[in-house]
């Protein structure tokens, strides 16, 4: 037992020695030098201050690998990869499978025994596995999209997403479906590319078509009953999930790399990612999170599904199960709400399966101490339970589960299916962003995110880990977007007027006969902010290249405003609250700010906190493919009957 423990500890320190920056010059050919350096291992380990450069799940795989075993990894580099790294990969037997130049990342197949030596290179920033990626009718009425489009606000014509490009990173789009035509019968899927290796851009799995139509499906079928939120937006189809609904991080990085290079050609302002992978690495080092940050910094709003792990095996609420890239602070992370099949919002609730925060991805320092991100997520929730949308012809989901066909039409290109999950909620929010950007193209991603949260409806009895700022309110978000100045720039001084009017809008909306107050607050990484100044004064964190959370200073469980980023007239929350359904911060204390930060962790794994339990340590067992994201059990509902299609195109959407 003692010898086994001693060997385990020794293996850990040898691994640590090999993968930290101070010994990055040790290459496979320098065996003598390596042996000499090993003599001073104890002193070396004590002097190490850098983080470990190999993700924890990859490190476990490497240490337990068989002789000759190879692994697929994502290598992030410190700047563009050069000849030195190419030579090192050649020496170590590494094969480059994908080169993502805009992201300073590569997909590499390499002997497991060589991973630690590769990590020792000065050119390498971080190495993680090429993990698995998987997917996680009254929508326009209950979200307020109908009201926003009909009113048009200050726009000369009703809003429908015209001119705005939405990239759908998913399992493909069945472009033959009637939902993707414009009023002149032109196809709105303007580009498609496959990143799975299957060489096709249609949707044999069925998930991506359903998602795309929720964001931007037209109303031709069943007299507009299944109109998406932005029914005339352009769609860019980036296929990263294969015919069985699974993919790899390398494919996802390929799509994100393409977006960085081609976003302006199609005016791609919105990206929808109704998929995810285990949130193991801190967002600071996760390659997908870092790619998302680059897109956001370049003006693209990225929406990510929270995940469908909000309910444990015994039916209890679980916390800490947000997936990547939903753990990225710059992304708009969306949870699922249950509308119970009614347009009025008075009975809406957070879906039981919707993943709750905080984020539990982490980074590891010397000695093995973990530092969890513990960000408050999701940012908001949107309808996601039992939503009816476009059905790709002959797709695997419906073939395997015929009961999911909604019975709307037997005709090819007009069939509809019903799915539940945060995968469905995310494109609803993405469509809302398209309307906002049509109303005001000058909005930055941070402003879009802030306005969505500020106008959201807090749901009574749910804390910020469950609903973020609250339930999506398209009417309020679009109304407020119209009022934001279009001449904002990095030089705009802090506290300058944000709106074109001196009188702020009424912080309330009425949708489908139900009136409610806005949250009047925004989530800021570990806490939230409230105050009229959020919409009347320009805040520096509304710009590009920063995070909303940069407006907060934290220390010793005390939080204050960053006076360089945030104006006066704004209050910072000191605790995560259970909302009373009126305004952000109302209700009972669920978790104190200091407890949330703690020493890098949120209570002990499995410890009960208020109304639920804390999930595990953020590591999901298995091969990295997220199970259950496609077909979570829909919450019970007195769900409305699906309107049947008569085969005639309805063009008054």
Per residue in 211-245, pLDDT (tens digit) is 999 999 998 999 888 999 999 999 999 999 999 99
Q: Which residues are catalytic?
A: 170, 207, 423
Structure tokens of 303? Answer: 């929406």
Q: Does residue 195 carry a pLDDT above 90?
A: yes
Output the CATH code of domain 2-130: 3.30.70.80
Three-class SS state of 272 = strand
Return the bridge partners of 515, or none.
510
For residue 62, how far is the Cα from the chain centroid? 29
Give how far Cα 157 sits from Cα of 160, 230, 278, 433, Å. 9, 14, 43, 17
- What backbone phi and psi angles, to 5 degrees, belong to 349? -145, 165
Helix (H) or strand (E) holding 286: none
Q: Does residue 601 carry a pLDDT above 80?
A: no
State residue 194's pLDDT score: 98
DSSP class of 229:
S
State residue 439's pLDDT score: 96
* Residue of 624, 512, 631, 646 lying closest to 210 (CA atoms): 631
- As a whole number, mean pLDDT of residues 250-278 equals 95
For the chain, give every domain's residue range: 2-130, 134-517+596-614
**Overall size of the chain counted in residues:** 653
Instruction: Give every CB contact of residue 64 below 8 A, 6+ residues apart in sequence.
Output: none
pLDDT tens figures, 333-383: 999 999 888 888 888 899 999 999 999 999 988 778 888 899 999 999 999
* Residue of 44, 43, 53, 42 lying closest to 20 (CA atoms): 53
CATH class label, 134-517+596-614: alpha beta
Looking from the CA of 290 toward its CB, the CA atoms found within 13 Å total 21
DSSP of 149-192, one letter per residue?
A: HHH-TTSSS--S-TT-EEEEEES---TTSGGGB-TTS-BSEEEE
Structure tokens of 653? Answer: 């959407």
Three-class SS state of 539 = coil
State residue 617's pLDDT score: 27
Percent of the chain with pLDDT over 70: 82
Report d(CA 452, CA 434) in Å as an integer.
12
* Residue of 462, 570, 446, 577 lying closest to 520 (CA atoms): 570
* pTM score: 0.86
Q: Does residue 639 carry a pLDDT above 90?
A: no
Predicted confidence band of residue 311 (pLDDT cuts 50, 70, 90): confident
Window from 134-148, 166-180, 572-586 with minimum mean pLDDT = 134-148
Report d(CA 218, CA 184) in Å as an integer.
12
Q: Which residue has the higher pLDDT, 481 or 30?
A: 481
Structure tokens of 161? Answer: 């997403």
State residue 51's pLDDT score: 63
Instruction: Give every CB contact of residue 403 below 8 A, 6+ residues apart in sequence.
Output: none
Q: Which residue has the higher pLDDT, 254 or 512?
A: 254
Q: Does residue 67 carry a pLDDT above 80?
A: yes
Report d(CA 334, CA 46) in Å as an integer.
42
């Amino acid at each position: 037992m003692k010898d086994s423990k001693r060997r385990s500890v020794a293996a850990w320190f040898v691994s640590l020695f090999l993968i930290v920056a101070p010994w990055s010059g040790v290459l496979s050919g320098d065996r003598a030098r390596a042996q000499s350096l090993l003599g001073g291992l104890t002193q070396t380990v004590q002097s190490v201050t850098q983080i470990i450069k190999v993700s924890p799940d990859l490190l476990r795989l490497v240490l337990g690998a068989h002789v000759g075993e190879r692994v697929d990894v994502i290598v992030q580099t410190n700047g563009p990869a050069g000849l030195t790294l190419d030579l090192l990969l050649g020496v170590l037997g590494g094969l480059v499978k994908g080169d993502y130049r805009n992201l300073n990342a590569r997909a590499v197949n390499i002997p497991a025994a060589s991973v630690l030596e590769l990590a020792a290179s000065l050119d390498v920033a971080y190495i993680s596995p090429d993990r698995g990626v998987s997917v996680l009718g009254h929508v326009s009425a209950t979200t307020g999209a109908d009201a926003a489009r009909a009113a048009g606000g200050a726009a000369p014509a009703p809003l429908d997403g015209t001119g705005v490009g939405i990239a759908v990173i998913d399992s493909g789009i069945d472009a033959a479906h009637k939902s993707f035509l414009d009023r002149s019968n032109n196809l709105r899927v303007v580009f498609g590319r496959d990143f799975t290796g299957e060489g096709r851009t249609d949707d044999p799995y069925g998930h991506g078509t359903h998602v795309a139509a929720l964001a931007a499906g037209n109303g031709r079928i069943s007299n507009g009953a299944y109109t998406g939120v932005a029914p005339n937006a352009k769609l860019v189809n980036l296929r990263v999930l294969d015919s069985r609904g699974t993919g790899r991080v390398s494919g996802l990085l390929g799509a994100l790399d393409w977006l960085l290079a081609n976003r302006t050609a199609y005016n791609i302002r919105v990206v929808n990612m109704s998929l995810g992978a285990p949130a193991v690495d801190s967002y600071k080092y996760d390659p997908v999170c870092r790619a998302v940050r680059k897109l956001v910094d370049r003006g693209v709003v990225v929406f990510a599904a929270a995940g469908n792990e909000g309910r444990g095996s015994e039916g209890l609420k679980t916390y800490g199960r947000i997936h990547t890239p939903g753990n990225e602070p710059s992304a708009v992370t969306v949870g699922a709400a249950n509308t119970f099949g009614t347009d009025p919002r008075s009975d809406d609730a957070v879906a039981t399966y919707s993943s709750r925060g905080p984020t539990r991805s982490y980074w590891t320092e010397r000695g093995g101490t973990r530092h969890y991100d513990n960000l408050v997520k999701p940012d908001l929730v949107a309808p996601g339970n039992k939503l009816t949308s476009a059905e790709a012809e002959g797709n695997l989901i419906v073939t395997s589960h015929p009961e999911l066909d909604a019975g709307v039409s037997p005709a090819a290109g007009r069939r509809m299916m019903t799915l539940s999950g945060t995968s469905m909620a995310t494109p609803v929010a993405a469509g809302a962003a398209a309307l906002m950007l049509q109303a005001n193209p000058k909005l930055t991603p941070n402003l879009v995110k802030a306005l969505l949260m500020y106008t959201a409806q807090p749901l009574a009895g749910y804390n910020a880990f469950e609903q973020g700022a609250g339930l999506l309110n398209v009417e309020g978000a679009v109304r407020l977007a119209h009022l934001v100045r279009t001449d904002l720039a990095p030089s705009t001084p802090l506290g300058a007027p944000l709106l074109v009017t001196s009188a702020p809008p009424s912080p309330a909306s009425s949708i489908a006969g139900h009136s409610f107050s806005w949250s009047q607050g925004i989530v800021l990484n570990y806490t939230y902010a409230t105050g009229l100044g959020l919409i009347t004064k320009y805040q520096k964190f509304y710009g590009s290249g920063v995070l909303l959370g940069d407006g907060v200073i934290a220390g010793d469980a005390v939080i204050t405003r960053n006076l360089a980023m945030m104006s006066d007239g704004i209050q910072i929350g000191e605790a995560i609250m259970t909302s009373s359904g009126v305004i952000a911060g109302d209700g009972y204390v669920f978790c104190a700010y200091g407890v949330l930060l703690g020493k890098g962790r949120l209570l002990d794994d499995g410890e009960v906190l208020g109304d639920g339990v804390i999930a595990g340590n953020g590591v999901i067992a298995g091969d990295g493919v997220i199970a259950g994201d496609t077909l979570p059990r829909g919450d019970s509902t007195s769900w409305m009957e699906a309107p049947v299609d008569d085969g005639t195109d309805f063009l008054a959407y």
